[in-house]
Structure 1
Amino acid sequence: MLPPAFLVCALAAVAHASPHHAHKVFESIASPDGWANLGAAPIDHIIPLRIALPQANFAALEEHLYAVSDPAHERYGAHLSKSEVEALVAPHPDSVSAVDAWLLEHGIPDSACTRSPAGDWVSVRVPVPVAERMLDTTFHVWKHTEDGNEIVRTTRYSLPAHLHAHVELVQPTTLFSRVKARRAEARSVGVQARVHDVRGVVAVARSDGTKLTVDAGCNETVTIACIRQFFNIGDYRASGTNGNQIAVAGYSEEYANAKDQQLFYADQLPEALNTTFKYVLVNGGKNGQDYDSDTYAENSDMQTVLGLAFPATGTYYSTGGEGPWIEDSDTRTDTIAPYGAWLDFALAQEKLPQTISTGYESHEQTIPESYAKRVCAGFAQLGARGTSLLVMSGNGGVGDAEGDPRTQSCWTNDGRHKRQFLPSFPASCPFVTAVGSTVFIPEVAAYSSGGGFSNYWSRPSYQGRAVSEYLTTQLRGTYAGLYNPNGRAYPDVAAQSINFRVALYGQLTAAGGGQQATAAFAGLVSLLNDARLAHGKPPLGFLNPFLYSSGLAVFNDITSGNAPGCGTQGFNATEGWDPITGLGTPDFGKLKDLALAF
């Protein structure tokens, strides 16, 4: 049921004001499937409106981002400060004035507004009658037909015509979401071939013709020692005294558990016993340390990143709330993590971790494009400030993370009901590093590894050569019409993803999925940052321009396996970049030498 409503007296007292600016429809949607309209919203219900103002100089921020992220550029590593980034994304004064005047016309003074540090978001809490007058609409109570969840939304809203150039989005309005966001399911996956002999070692051929030996037992159980072998980390150990930090961003009421972290350390990293990580609560997030809480995914993530990066300082962000969501035929519950709320918090901090891992995914089409692009712009701000953000490419091949990738069918949710591969967000954002999945020795692509091409973003310049070669020499028109060949392609890289030995609910067990690969790769990036910091160099920051240029030749190319979905065999792993394992899996020794060379 709806929470008890209350009045904001100061605003309600002026709610009768009726500005005379002509409104023009800003956004409208069809009546949402699975929701029943129960009638007009209560007049005393409070709506927390968030208004996005255009970021006046984002193009300049993007130029700075690519300059400081490209090893060939003279400004490589000269990351921007918090204030420098905020100056670039701050809205134009005309937009601020126009929106402020509009709010004041409806009795909302500046003192009633909350603004982001850059001023590009304005938040107000208003009663339904005020929101309806502001947006020339009618809000209704909508009830979900399956779980009975009730929300207050509209299917159409307007803004004064002169405001359309000064506002990018206003929410929550047309966004129909469930109470609890769902994290993509983590699961162990099988592949086409597997080595069963767990005695001795296995010699793995690398892309440059060299050999790397890995304990054959890593086919059955992947430990931190196994990952260090897979990545060719050798005996490198982080210093722990140079300010290196790594974090996991968690959502969906899932929590990292301190007791399980100690059990993991006792099992695999005894030198870390009795150390802990920082737990930061964001947007009403909680710290669920009892075993009644959902600890599966975030436990395994924290254990993997700190298992590799120790003794780097670790942080877990527990972010509450939900993100905006549009239902599609495969997504009947809200899968959208509240990235915006976490970004509001993170970007307000003076200092950020150099490496952040997050293992969440949703169909790109289930996220309103305006919201997705604002979130992606926030990720660009992280990169400009020197943070490497690693995200998983997905757990559902070219389609749905919830079903068996081999049998799923995939349809657009734009009214056309067109069969189409379903790109994943946030992996499809060009300002993150998306991590695909491999399994076993020798490594092959995991059949659940997400990959594909965005429908929201065009292919970034750093991918031009690698992806173009794949399209022209490997794919050659296969699946034409099922994907956007001009879109941002993902994943960028890959890592081991199944049978990780972790501690969950007080017991040692196995975990797997794309988020494990992401956490492992994030741990490796943290070690690269540690090496640079130890040599007086800035952190790597946004990785992709480096990976697709200088780093291109030092990845281990994965050429076996495929990721089926949407009633097809999906994409294949093949020579060079491919949309299932990206550039391949990393060789730490070679990447470290490169990272210290500039």
Structure 2
Amino acid sequence: MRWNRLRLLLSTVLALAAASPTGWHIQQRAPPNASITLHIGLAASDSFLDLEKAAAQIADPGHEKFRQHLTVDQLQILLTAPPSTSAKVSRWLHDAGIQLPSVHQRGNVLDAAMKIDQAEKLLNAKFYVYTDGWKDILRAENFSIPQPLQESIEFVAPTNVFPEPSNRKAVVLTMSAHLLVYAKSTTLPTHPSQIELTFAVYGTEAAVFNATDLQTFLETYNEPAAEARASYEIVGSGDAANGVPGVEGAFETALTTQTFLGLAWPATGIFYNLGGVFGPSNASSVDATGQRYTTYDTYDPFVQFLQDMMHNETVPSVVSFSQSWSENQVDEGYARSVCRMLQAIGARGVTLIFSSGNNGAQGNQPDQVHLDIFEPKFPASCPYATSVGGTTNLANEMAATQQTVEGVINKASLIASGGGFSNYFERPDYQSTMVPAYIDSHVPSSYRNLSGFNASGRGIPDLSAFSTSFPTVTNNSTIPVGGTSAAAPLWAAIITLLNDYEISRGRPTLGFINPWLYSLPNGTLHDITQGGDNSGQCAPNSNCTLSQTPGYNVSVGWDPVTGLGSPMFNRLVDALEARAGSNGSNSTSGGNGSSTSGSSTAVRLSDTSTAILLLSLLISSLTWLL
């Protein structure tokens, strides 16, 4: 896919926010002495086309370089911005009094630490403290870039991209009555792996991971892990011991971390708690005169995390993300730059799993203020993300929709599996057959006149999994929680198990899996053909601005409700073995493709059949609440 450079429009070079910051309210002007780190994305060079080519070859099951992942050094060469571009932007910063050691470049992103008053002068902007009633962030809705730098800069963050506001309500559902397992009969031979296999969760709230709750969960659902005191390595400022009960982030993190580790242990889990899309908490400081003031040492944690994944020597094999934005709430240039980062990370051998959202084709919006009829989720809409929708009723698995999901407590709960078509990203080659076939056969012609529908856009989700009634321990109480935030870590755990299987046979990790998924023979995944349409919810008493809430229907084959379907582990293993048999062992990664720490410690899913049956245990044990 070729990327269009961001053009900062208008003769005044004014950069406008992608949308009004719905759900965020101005609290005050940002203190001039508050700290901020600006991430400045430099325009792509010809080497980015080489990265695009390399990433495509690595992900193509039919190419001789399939899964020969890039080393960190190889990637750095492909990420480097032209020296002339770096020099221009560095000179601009230097002239504004911002220079080394406050400026640091990694690949095509310059990180520049400064005070708010410097940032305002640099960008001709006004920064404000915004609040959603729970978190405070620094943003500038409008900013400008000097005309000579328009061709050199793709984005500046954090500025005009606002995350979706946090929600104090839990995504809580009542229990379903019919349970099944995805891989109950699978037994796999296991060989010791000499590589430490790691997986990760990207946290979206500060200090919501609760190690005590995780231990309680493991004592019930994975006793060996509990006896080993299994937990997550914490990267960032998060508190590993305490959570914040009563906010959506706490439930999200508990659901994701418990589901993932419960299935993937003894692989090593990492919890990246960088403040999430909501930004780090503010803090109190004292100036030279003894006067106390509030500081907002803020940055864009998502960009920082992606930069780490591109530039760190070692990276996890799988990362699960549960939070997202509505695509039309994100500046397109920012979205494209982030998507390119996902492409680079996938080329290193990392699988990136994103939830597709919980309110069908409309997406959840704060205050129910919608910009379009159809609102797909980002980063799930990026072609280099693997997006996961939701199912329910495992005894006769069907799409999670308003027709099938029972026990919805409030609008923050799962309404319908998110899905649709991107308005920013064109349809990737791996969807060139299935997605047009669905649109031609199942999308009403009337949809083409509705805002937000794009018949040529990247379709989401790619996959789906069980997403209702997961037992989750929060604040020492076990409750059933649902949403695609459950489905995403479930698939991430499946990929972790597949990675362990591959590594034990001397083969590299899966990395970016979408082209492989769409090439699988029929029957490898469980095609979901029941459940109705994924229309969202728009209650008249919630100030909803939508005139209608249409959805997409499930169908045979790919559909924008459940994607290609839900996992059948043993058939995925068969597919890996079939390809290995027809193409040789493919045992050479070509770099850091196995996403390891380089440790010689033998780490294995010691009895892989037991590890697979943890999925059975996790889902079947839901009956304790029936």
TM-score between both structures, scaled by the size of structure 1 = 0.78
Inter-partner Cα distance in structure 1 for 2:302 and 2:137: 20
**Any conservation in 1 of the 2:363–2:418 contact (CA below 8 Å)?**
no
2:233 paired residue among 279, 300, 309: 279
Is the partner of 2:98 in helix, strand or coil?
Answer: coil
Q: What is the one-letter code of the residue matched to 1:560?
A: Q
| Alignment map for 1:163-174 (pairs within 5 Å) | 163-174=149-160
**1:123 match:** 111
The alpha-carbon distance between structure 1 residues 309 and 173, as it changes in their structure 2 partners (threshold 3 A), is: closer
| Alignment map for 1:186-205 (pairs within 5 Å) | 186-188=171-173
Farther-moved stretch of structure 1 (260-269 vs 450-459): 260-269
The alpha-carbon distance between structure 1 residues 168 and 479, as it changes in their structure 2 partners (threshold 3 A), is: same
Inter-partner Cα distance in structure 1 for 2:28 and 2:267: 54
CA drift at 1:170: 2.2
Matched, 1:444 2:425: no
Farther-moved stretch of structure 1 (475-484 vs 448-457): 475-484
Post-superposition CA distance 1:404-426 (Å, at most 9, x none): xxxx97732xxxxxx42111111
Is the partner of 2:186 in helix, strand or coil?
Answer: coil
**Any conservation in 1 of the 2:207–2:243 contact (CA below 8 Å)?**
no
**1:473 match:** 441
Inter-partner Cα distance in structure 1 for 2:337 and 2:168: 21
| Alignment map for 1:103-122 (pairs within 5 Å) | 103-116=93-106, 118=107, 120-122=108-110
The alpha-carbon distance between structure 1 residues 236 and 99, as it changes in their structure 2 partners (threshold 3 A), is: same
**2:559 match:** 578
1:357 paired residue among 304, 315, 320: 320
**Any conservation in 1 of the 2:28–2:130 contact (CA below 8 Å)?**
no
The alpha-carbon distance between structure 1 residues 503 and 487, as it changes in their structure 2 partners (threshold 3 A), is: same
Matched, 1:25 2:13: yes
**Any conservation in 1 of the 2:469–2:481 contact (CA below 8 Å)?**
yes
The alpha-carbon distance between structure 1 residues 28 and 494, as it changes in their structure 2 partners (threshold 3 A), is: closer
2:39 paired residue among 28, 50, 55: 50
Matched, 1:159 2:149: no
Is the partner of 1:296 in helix, strand or coil?
Answer: helix
Post-superposition CA distance 1:304-352 (Å, at most 9, x none): 222222221222221215469xxxxxxxxxxx99421221233332111
CA drift at 1:92: 0.7
CA drift at 1:563: 1.1
Q: Identical aligned pairs, as a percentage?
A: 31
CA drift at 1:501: 2.4
The alpha-carbon distance between structure 1 residues 263 and 286, as it changes in their structure 2 partners (threshold 3 A), is: closer
Post-superposition CA distance 1:162-219 (Å, at most 9, x none): 21111112233444669x75699634389xxx8x5xxxxxxxxxxxxxxxxxxx5x2x
**Any conservation in 2 of the 1:354–1:526 contact (CA below 8 Å)?**
yes
The alpha-carbon distance between structure 1 residues 254 and 286, as it changes in their structure 2 partners (threshold 3 A), is: closer
CA drift at 1:79: 0.2
The alpha-carbon distance between structure 1 residues 112 and 402, as it changes in their structure 2 partners (threshold 3 A), is: closer
The alpha-carbon distance between structure 1 residues 503 and 177, as it changes in their structure 2 partners (threshold 3 A), is: closer
**2:534 match:** 563
Inter-partner Cα distance in structure 1 for 2:70 and 2:277: 30
The alpha-carbon distance between structure 1 residues 409 and 175, as it changes in their structure 2 partners (threshold 3 A), is: closer
Matched, 1:311 2:266: yes
Farther-moved stretch of structure 1 (569-578 vs 443-452): 569-578
Q: What is the one-letter code of the residue matched to 2:503?
A: L
**2:252 match:** 297
Matched, 1:252 2:225: no
Q: What is the one-letter code of the residue matched to 2:527?
A: D
CA drift at 1:462: 0.4
Is the partner of 1:273 in helix, strand or coil?
Answer: helix
The alpha-carbon distance between structure 1 residues 453 and 138, as it changes in their structure 2 partners (threshold 3 A), is: closer
Is the partner of 1:510 in helix, strand or coil?
Answer: strand
Matched, 1:139 2:129: no
Unaligned runs of 5+ in 2: 1-10, 280-298, 402-415, 537-545, 581-626
Q: What is the one-letter code of the residue matched to 1:160?
A: P
Matched, 1:588 2:586: no
Inter-partner Cα distance in structure 2 for 1:112 and 1:134: 15
**Any conservation in 1 of the 2:203–2:271 contact (CA below 8 Å)?**
yes
Matched, 1:401 2:364: yes
Q: What is the one-letter code of the residue matched to 2:529?
A: T
Inter-partner Cα distance in structure 1 for 2:464 and 2:162: 34
Is the partner of 2:119 in helix, strand or coil?
Answer: helix
TM-score between both structures, scaled by the size of structure 2 = 0.75
Is the partner of 2:563 in helix, strand or coil?
Answer: coil
CA drift at 1:71: 1.3
**Any conservation in 2 of the 1:240–1:313 contact (CA below 8 Å)?**
no
| Alignment map for 1:179-190 (pairs within 5 Å) | 186-188=171-173
**1:235 match:** 187
Q: What is the one-letter code of the residue matched to 1:564?
A: S
Unaligned runs of 5+ in 1: 1-22, 197-215, 219-225, 325-335, 413-418
CA drift at 1:231: 3.7
Q: What is the one-letter code of the residue matched to 1:234?
A: T
Matched, 1:534 2:486: no
Number of aligned positions between the proteins: 516
Is the partner of 2:535 in helix, strand or coil?
Answer: strand
